[in-house]
């Protein structure tokens, strides 16, 4: 089930990478479920809105809390790539939000959802093996605790936009 910031989002065995991976899967699954409902004609926009907000929140967690200490530890290029891809994901998320607001036809929604899923697949296939292991091993205790707290209860600040969203 896709979790929102109001729901319990506890750490299995205290391992941050497991929670971050779980969020990836939940977001992907929610978008795929939305596409399935488009195909049967029983679509409601709320589940997609929830998935898009979860993705935005996930990007915030990474950019505001996870990435800075990893970048400072020397992983500059991998973080640069992740940030650039976050910008692409953010723009596609915005496009989907606009399509929902404009009551776009199902074909446009489906195509844009598929584009977002492809972007997520490419992004996650790099982020999970390269960046996430550092969430468990290389973060200072204070940052690790902050990340765990935010994942459980945090909210994205009003008006926050990922760094590369405008590029």
Convert the pLDDT of each residue in 76-128 to its tens digit. Answer: 999 999 999 999 999 999 999 999 998 878 899 999 999 999 999 999 999 99
Q: What is the pLDDT of residue 10?
A: 39
What's the pLDDT at 14?
47
Give the CA count within 13 Å in the CB-facing half-sphere of 108. 12
- pLDDT beyond 90 at 40: no
Tokens describing residue 100: 């929902």
Cα Dmax for the chain = 49
**pLDDT computed for residue 167 by the predictor:** 67
Structural domains in the chain, CATH included, are 12-153 (1.20.120.520)
Q: How far apart are CA 47 and CA 1, in angstroms?
A: 11
């Amino acid at each position: 089930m896709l979790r929102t910031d109001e729901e319990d989002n506890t750490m299995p065995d205290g391992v941050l990478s497991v929670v971050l991976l779980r969020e990836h899967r939940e977001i992907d699954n929610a978008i795929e479920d939305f596409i399935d409902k488009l195909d049967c004609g029983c679509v409601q926009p709320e589940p997609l809105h929830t998935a898009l907000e979860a993705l935005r929140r996930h990007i915030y967690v990474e950019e505001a809390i996870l990435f800075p200490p990893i970048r400072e530890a020397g992983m500059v290029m991998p973080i640069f790539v992740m940030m650039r891809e976050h910008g692409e994901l953010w723009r596609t998320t915005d496009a989907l939000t606009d399509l929902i607001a404009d009551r776009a036809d199902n074909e446009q929604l489906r195509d844009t959802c598929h584009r977002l899923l492809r972007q997520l697949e490419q992004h996650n296939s790099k982020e999970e093996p390269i960046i996430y292991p550092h969430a468990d091993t290389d973060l200072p205790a204070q940052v690790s605790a902050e990340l765990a707290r935010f994942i459980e209860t945090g909210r994205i600040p009003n008006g926050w936009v990922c760094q590369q969203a405008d590029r």
